[in-house]
Amino acid sequence: MRTAENGGPAGPRVVVLGGSGYLGRRIGAAFAADGALVHLVSRSPATDGPAQARSVPMDLLAAGRRELTGFFASVRPDVVVNAAGRAWRADEAEMTAGNADLVARVTQALAGLPGPPRLIQLGSVHEYGAGTPGAGTSEEQQPAPVTPYGRTKLLGTRTVLRATAEGGVDGVVLRLANVIGAGVPAGSLFGRVAAHLGEAALARSRGGTPDELGLPPLRAHRDVVDVHDVVEAVRSAATAPRADVGGRVVNIGRGEAVSMRALIHRMVALSGVDLPVVEADPGPSLRTDVEWQQLDVSRALRLLGWRPRRSLDDSLRDLIAAAVPAPVNGRNGR
């Protein structure tokens, strides 16, 4: 058994790539609370990471295989969680660098370690492409992504599965639905709406009239999962038997498709900020997306003992509490 410096038993060593990001810092905090020795790796140190975690400054997009190999060899991790990548406000070349090329270097670096650590790759529902309306997409469906983000995330998934099949990596891919919760990235639909609600609440408090909330047509239905539920899925995947999850994709979502129009209007109602929501066609766009995403999450229950616990209202209230000024937020809850 590994021992700590004080002679007692030590917890597992966990490396979180992208440790200062939206998901990474929460995953790191959860493992630290479990007693793990956590290394949060990112270009910029996590400002709100757990005190017991170690911040490791590293530009993962620029880090070569040799640098990564040296780092992993020095830490000797039991678990590596790849929460790094590029999504919002990045072009396809940048997404390829962050979502595919980095994964290749990470798997190559880990393959040389004894014993190899469990690698948990965070994938995306966007890897599947279009879902069938009224039905959930299982892990057996052949991916056919239609966005640069989906295509580059799929490249990363295939790299992990291939490395695991070759025996150099103990990898599992958690294919995440659209993640929601406090502090969701500003580039996402929910982040954009949360920021507007915060600005609108501030304008109201100063006696002004807030701008309407202008959005593209909200025709899509999406599977949406709470960030806390995602963290629990990662914790479960870290200790699941290799025979059960090694080299497998596991869907993590609510298992239902929710109308984005209904969800955004519910978010506005819960905020207590009275403002109109206006949908307008932005005209020709380079973005191609799908209108139905719903995951079949039965494998997650079977292999990880995981199921979503938090309600959509829980998620929306967390998001609103972090974005809307407290005096307005205090009148919420209806």
The answer as to whether 77 is a domain residue is: yes
Residue 73 lies in a domain: yes
Confidence of residue 115 (pLDDT cuts 50, 70, 90): confident
The predicted structure's pLDDT at residue 47: 66
Domain assignment of residue 203, yes or no: no
Angle between the 102-111 and 148-165 helix axes, to the nearest 10 degrees? 10
Tokens of 252: 């993590």
0.85 cut: is pTM over it? yes
**Cα–Cα nearest to 276, from 208, 198, 197, 212:** 212
Instruction: Report the pLDDT value the prediction gives residue 120, as an integer from 0 to 100.
Output: 98
Average pLDDT over residues 111-135: 94
pLDDT at 73: 95
Is it the case that residue 1 has pLDDT exceeding 80?
no
Q: Would 202 be classed as within a structural domain?
A: no
Instruction: Determine, yes or no, domain membership for 299.
Output: yes
pLDDT in tens, 56-71: 999 999 999 999 999 9
284 within a domain of the structure (yes/no)? no
Q: Please tell me the distance from the alpha carbon of residue 37 to that of residue 27, in angstroms, as a whole number.
A: 13
Does 256 or 286 have the greater pLDDT score?
A: 256
Lowest mean pLDDT among 47-51, 69-73, 307-311, 325-329: 325-329
149 is catalytic: yes
Confidence band for 51, pLDDT divided at 50, 70 and 90: low
Q: Is residue 108 part of a domain?
A: yes
pLDDT given for residue 7 in this prediction = 44
pLDDT grade for 305, boundaries at 50, 70 and 90: very high
CB 37 within 8 A of CB 78: no
Question: Average pLDDT of the chain?
Answer: 90
Among candidate residues 149, 184, 194, 221, the one labeled active-site is 149
Q: Which structural domain, as residue segments, surrounds residue 54?
A: 13-179+226-255+291-308
Confidence of residue 289 (pLDDT cuts 50, 70, 90): confident
CATH of residue 97: 3.40.50.720
- 156, 179, 315 from 190: Cα distances, Å: 25, 10, 11
φ/ψ of residue 270, rounded to 5 = -65, -25
d(CA 273, CA 285) in angstroms, rounded, equals 30
Band (pLDDT 50/70/90 cuts) for residue 28 is very high
Residues in the chain, overall count: 334
In a domain, 327, yes or no: no
- More confident call, 330 vs 226: 226
Band the pLDDT of 112: cuts 50, 70, 90: confident
Query: What pLDDT does residue 41 have?
Result: 96
Count of domains observed in the chain: 1
Q: Which residues on neighbouring strands pair with residue 82, listed in sequence order?
A: 17, 121
Task: Summarize pLDDT for 127-177 with one digit per residue, the tens.
Answer: 999 999 999 999 999 999 999 999 999 999 999 999 999 988 999 999 999
